[in-house]
Amino acid sequence: MHLFRTLIILASLVSLIPVTFAQNADEKTPTAPSPLPPNDPSNLWATPKPRANVVEQKIWSYAAGLNCSWSRRLDYGNIYFYRFEPEISGFMYSPLPIERLWLRHGVRLGYSNDQPQMPQAVRLQETDWKASIEEGIIYNSIVAMSLTAGLGYDWRKITAKTTSPITVQDSRLNSSELFLWSYLQAGFGVSALAGKYMFEPIVRWQHLTSDSRTNWAYGLEMTAAW
């Protein structure tokens, strides 16, 4: 039931995209009130690229890259452990009928095997694989500000490792769990080479349904566009 409802969430979010573009398709020219020349330096992402086989003019831009992020997790008493959780991301941009405002549709894949300090003879190692889809709004300017909401899954494998003088280990310590991952993220991007590359520090508030140790993550997202 849990998985079924989640699939409905994902389907609902994905279905919003053609709705947006369907609206644009009803209009003849989906551009901002004062369209900027394609090569204007301040027109960072919105270089019009008419797609083949499309009657109406649509503006698509794509980007992909790497996010070096750390989640802040309560591990040592009430002291935080900053866990390295790198991600790869892919984005599609589509314009909104407001100047400089864009929708950013994204997918994100993450992995982490970073562990806090633990004794040598008994360790519970947590390995995470994460996947999400996200929708964000980005304001295209010298500093590109974005606000994004995401939803996905975290699959965690827990591996117990014991050594002497621990001579017996109950195998039930090894387990895996699948839980929902949701987040709100703010970014402040700076681009280079007329928008070809973006460096975007992000701060993310996140929620994992069975892990309340972590709520905040920070990172630097580096993407290249085409």
| Cβ distance to another protein smaller for residue 27 or 177 | 177
Q: CB of 211: closest distance to another protein in angstroms?
A: 7
Could you tell me if 166 and 179 are in contact, meaning their C-beta atoms sit under 8 angstroms apart?
Answer: no
Measured CA to CA, the distance from residue 141 to residue 154 in angstroms comes to 33
Task: Read off the amino acid at residue 8.
Answer: I
| Cβ distance to another protein smaller for residue 47 or 127 | 127
Q: CB of 176: closest distance to another protein in angstroms?
A: 10
Q: CB of 42: closest distance to another protein in angstroms?
A: 32
Of 209, 202, 205, whose CA–CA distance to 69 is shortest? Answer: 202
Which residues make Cβ contacts (< 8 Å) with residue 160, sequence separation at least 6?
A: 122, 123, 124, 125, 169, 173, 174
| Cβ distance to another protein smaller for residue 32 or 180 | 180
| Cβ distance to another protein smaller for residue 34 or 78 | 78
Instruction: Convert 89-106 to b/e letters by CB count within 10 Å (16 or more is b).
Output: bebebbbbeeebebbbbb
Could you tell me if 187 and 53 are in contact, meaning their C-beta atoms sit under 8 angstroms apart?
Answer: no
Q: CB of 178: closest distance to another protein in angstroms?
A: 11
Residue ranges in contact with another protein by CB under 8 A: 5-6, 8-9, 12-13, 15-16, 19, 22-23, 74-79, 116-124, 126, 149, 151, 158, 160, 162-163, 165-170, 172-173, 175, 177, 179-182, 207, 209-213
Q: CB of 13: closest distance to another protein in angstroms?
A: 6
